[in-house]
Amino acid sequence: MKFIASTTTRLLFPVMLAASLAACQTTSSPLVDGDSGVSYGDAKAVETVTTDLGSTDIQMTSEKMTQSLLQHPLVREIIRKRQLVVASPVQNKTSEYFDTALISDTILVQLQKNGIRYVVAGDEMQNQVDELRRQNQSGLYNQAKTAKIGNMQGAKYRIDGSVSSIKKRNANVKDVYYKINLRLIEIESGIVEWSDEKEIRKTARR
Amino acid sequence: MVALRSLRLSPVLVALAATILLAGCAGNPLRSYDKEMQGTLQRLNSGEVDAALSNLESNNASIFSSSSDAPKDQDGEPTEQTQLDSVLGKDILYYFEKGELLKLKNDYAGSRDAWLVADEIVRVWEDEYRTNPTKVIGEVGAYLVSDRVRRYDGQDYEKVFLSTKLALDHILLGRFDLARIEMKKTFEREKLIESFRDREYDKIKEEGDKQGVATTAEELGDQGYPLDELDGPEVRALKNGFQNAFAHYLSGYFFELTGEYSLAAPGYRNALALQPKSKLIQAKVNRVGQQKPGRNEADVLFVVESGFAPEWKSITVAAPVPINRKLVATPISFPIVYSSAEVAVPRTLTVGKKTLPVETLVDVDAMARRLLKDQLPGIITRTVVRAVIKSTVQYQARKRGGVIGEVVAGIATIATEQADERAWRTLPAKLSVARAILPRGEVPISFDTGNGIWHGTITVNDRMTIVPIRVLGGQVYLGSPGSADIEEIREATGAAEPAERPAPARKKKPVKPANAKPQQES
């Protein structure tokens, strides 16, 4: 009898837990639903709306490049020695209005999650300079506690690259071939320590 | 009277009669838009922008005689109705022209607001195509009445130009965030138009095959249609009738100065694809960001617009129409764009001590002819199909309503069978640019208008400065230079910075009306 009771309890507990969680679900954020037809989708879903570079291309490229970089012995050395990396702008050599920072930013985030330290560049660099000037030159801050000018660290390696494309079309088919190339360069010597590329072919039929 | 009573109007006849009742509104089949605009254009050529504006307003006056009759909003205030609200509302052309006229008055906010209404009308068309392309494409061959009675959504090149001009207005008003959005929208619009035209071509071919219409442009040419007008070297040199090299060059310029080189590069590259001989563009492709203004300098873009966009005319030729399984030469009207008289574009601008070459990036005259050339097969199919249907209508009317029925149907046919002459007429015939790095401050400018040398002064404020210039005969409209400190732009757009730190923000000097003291030398 005791056995039956304990078995029942063991079986009932998950069921009750699931039921209570389901109840929680019904009290989640209310939905404001108009007639706009707007809905949320999976950010990782494969997107094939047009042949232009899209979210899936960025995700595929970033994933491949990050994995390739992390497998390189030099990158493991960079992580171990806590050396610094900076990302130069990825050149857009296509005729598409595509912001290549989408690729480099995603790769930097993935690299940092794996232990690589990087320094700011581009617009972030301007914000960094502005903030240092504000702290040191505006007269508003306690100078004993401000971040001092002249202590920023330069990177030992930089990542750069390019996106190129070849487009072809006839009456029935539009074909676009993209090649995304990335390199890791030692800044002092200019030696390319690592490079890899991702090829993407997208075809649309009329 | 008896005959009239006995006349049983078919739905087709009712539709045709309804078009006549629309006299006085935008979709009026009897309206000659070209004639209507002559007064406005003449006043602009004389430098009378206010009078041109009044003329435009009187041409588009509401049919409601007093304000008490006018439509009102919830608060009882009279509201302006557009073609989206009512068939009696103001059409897109009114907003096209009004935006242009207000821009010539340096009223950029008013110009932007007028063009935003026009843009809303274009967006309705875009949304219709995006959500139900089959329906929009289906309408291509489904019209019983003339093209001039169809809702006018703007020619393809006008839609792209509208977006480009809106971007320019946003820059001149210092709204760089909106300019950035508008530029991206321009290129999405180009792609949408390209997709629409591809699918329309298929549909027209299908419709033509179904109706047994095999009339070609060449056959039309044999009957007197001036095909040569649509086949000049400047027309053949264009990729299509809607892509705008200036729109792409403006993006290159804008994104280069905001430090977004990955967006600037395709701007210059696309512009070069459309204008391969342009030295100005060649100098920028693969050299983005290499020439930067110094601390007290600005990268100045002169946008020189000359003349008016070409007029669309209606020409009647005897086209072969399949009636009762026979090809009958039937007089039908088709649109034609004649190449306009030579428009004076200054070859150089003298700015301070520099002489800047002026390069034409957009030839609207050629674009209009290219567009018509590309659309002519569709226009022929639609027009001939309509002619077949109308001959059937007349036959039915005669059968049911006797002589009077035939007369009514005949009047409707004549009234609706004129080719569509509507087009944005105050658009420039040519858009040219010059560009230079200039010192900040007041800089004298002079150039040859074709009627003498014109002198004026511009104020170069900050690192990005755009100077709009309109040359109409001997008349020059010099806009207030739109300028901004790069920090303002970056703040507004969240863009990257160029390597060199820009000079600190300066308080802008009030800009004198630039054409206040022009001196003309003969």
B351 pLDDT higher than 70 = yes
**Mean pLDDT estimate for chain B:** 80
Taking 3-state DSSP, the helix, strand and coil percentages for chain A, each rounded to the nearest 5, stand at: 40, 25, 40
Name chain B contacts of A99, Cβ cutoff 8 Å: 260, 262-263
Write out B448-505 in H/E/C secondary structure: ECCCCEEEEEEEECCCEEEEEEEEECCEEEECCCEEECHHHHHHHHCCCCCCCCCCCC
Name chain B contacts of A105, Cβ cutoff 8 Å: none
Question: Percent of chain B scored above 90 by pLDDT?
Answer: 45
- Grade residue B413 by pLDDT with cuts at 50, 70 and 90: low
Higher pLDDT, B148 or A101: A101
Q: Can you tell me the distance from the alpha carbon of A73 to that of B80, in angstroms, rounded to the nearest whole number?
A: 70
Name chain A contacts of B494, Cβ cutoff 8 Å: 123
- The reported pLDDT for the residue numbered A19 is 53
B445 pLDDT higher than 80 = yes
CB contact under 8 A, A91 and B262: yes
Report yes or no: A74 and A193 within 8 Å, Cβ to Cβ: yes
**Chain B interface includes A125 (CB < 8 A):** yes
Q: Can you tell me the distance from the alpha carbon of A118 to that of B154, in angstroms, rounded to the nearest whole number?
A: 51
- Grade residue B407 by pLDDT with cuts at 50, 70 and 90: low
Report yes or no: B458 and B481 within 8 Å, Cβ to Cβ: yes
Q: Which residue of B has its CA nearest to A162?
A: B262
Out of B198, B495, B501, name the one closest to residue A123 (CB): B495
pLDDT in tens, B56-103: 999 888 655 455 565 666 666 666 777 777 767 888 999 999 999 999
CA atoms within 13 A on the CB side of B42: 7
Report yes or no: B438 and B300 within 8 Å, Cβ to Cβ: yes
Q: B115, B123, B116: which is closest to B99 by C-alpha? A: B115
CB contact under 8 A, A101 and B496: yes
> Hey, which residues does A204 pair with through a beta bridge?
A174
> Hey, which residues does B446 pair with through a beta bridge?
B350, B455
Neighbour-count burial of B401, counting CB atoms closer than 10 A to its CB (0-12 exposed, 13-18 middle, 19+ buried): buried
**Chain B interface includes A35 (CB < 8 A):** no
- The reported pLDDT for the residue numbered B68 is 57
- Grade residue B512 by pLDDT with cuts at 50, 70 and 90: very low
- The reported pLDDT for the residue numbered B119 is 95
**Mean of pLDDT values over B361-389:** 87
Out of B251, B266, B273, name the one closest to residue A92 (CB): B266
Token pair recorded at residue B87: 């068939």
Q: Can you tell me the distance from the alpha carbon of B234 to that of A173, in angstroms, rounded to the nearest whole number?
A: 29
Q: Can you tell me the distance from the alpha carbon of B501 to that of B510, in angstroms, rounded to the nearest whole number?
A: 25
From first to last of the 206 residues of chain A, give the pLDDT tens digit: 455 555 555 655 555 555 555 544 445 677 777 666 778 888 888 888 888 889 999 999 999 999 999 999 999 999 999 999 999 889 999 989 988 988 989 999 999 999 999 998 876 788 899 999 999 999 999 999 999 999 999 999 999 999 999 999 887 888 999 999 999 999 999 999 999 999 999 999 87
CB contact under 8 A, A89 and B273: no
Least confident of A136-140, B145-149, B459-463: B145-149
**Mean of pLDDT values over B513-522:** 41
Q: Can you tell me the distance from the alpha carbon of B108 to that of B480, in angstroms, rounded to the nearest whole number?
A: 9
Complex-level ipTM: 0.70
B185 pLDDT higher than 50 = yes
Can you tell me which residue has the tokens 């400190």? Answer: B485
Three-state SS at B70? coil
Domains along chain A with CATH numbers: 50-139+146-205 (3.40.50)
Kindly list the distances between the CA atom of residue A13 and the CA atoms of A9, A26, A77, B193, in Å, as whole numbers in the listed order.
6, 20, 50, 61
Q: Can you tell me the distance from the alpha carbon of B284 to that of B287, in angstroms, rounded to the nearest whole number?
A: 5
Least confident of A178-187, B27-36, B397-406, B490-499: B490-499
Name chain A contacts of B199, Cβ cutoff 8 Å: 206
* A-B contacts at Cβ under 8 angstroms: 54
- The reported pLDDT for the residue numbered B347 is 96
**Mean of pLDDT values over B464-473:** 92
B8 pLDDT higher than 60 = no
- The reported pLDDT for the residue numbered A16 is 57
Q: Where are the alpha helices (DSSP H) in A27-155?
A: 55-70, 73-81, 101-113, 122-137
CB contact under 8 A, A92 and B497: no
Out of A95, A97, A126, name the one closest to residue B273 (CB): A95
| pTM score of the predicted model | 0.79
- Grade residue B317 by pLDDT with cuts at 50, 70 and 90: confident
Q: B451, B510, B497, B483: which is closest to B171 by C-alpha? A: B483
Least confident of A141-145, B163-167, B425-429, B478-482: B478-482
Report yes or no: B356 and B349 within 8 Å, Cβ to Cβ: yes
Give the distance, in angstroms, between the CA of residue B471 and the centroid of all CA atoms in the same chain: 18
CB contact under 8 A, B262 and A92: yes
Q: Which residue of B has its CA nearest to A165?
A: B266
Three-state SS at B419? coil
Higher pLDDT, A166 or B8: A166
**Chain B interface includes A89 (CB < 8 A):** yes
Name chain A contacts of B288, Cβ cutoff 8 Å: none
Q: Pick from B262, B263, B490 the residue to mutate for testing the A interface (most A CBs within 10 Å).
A: B262
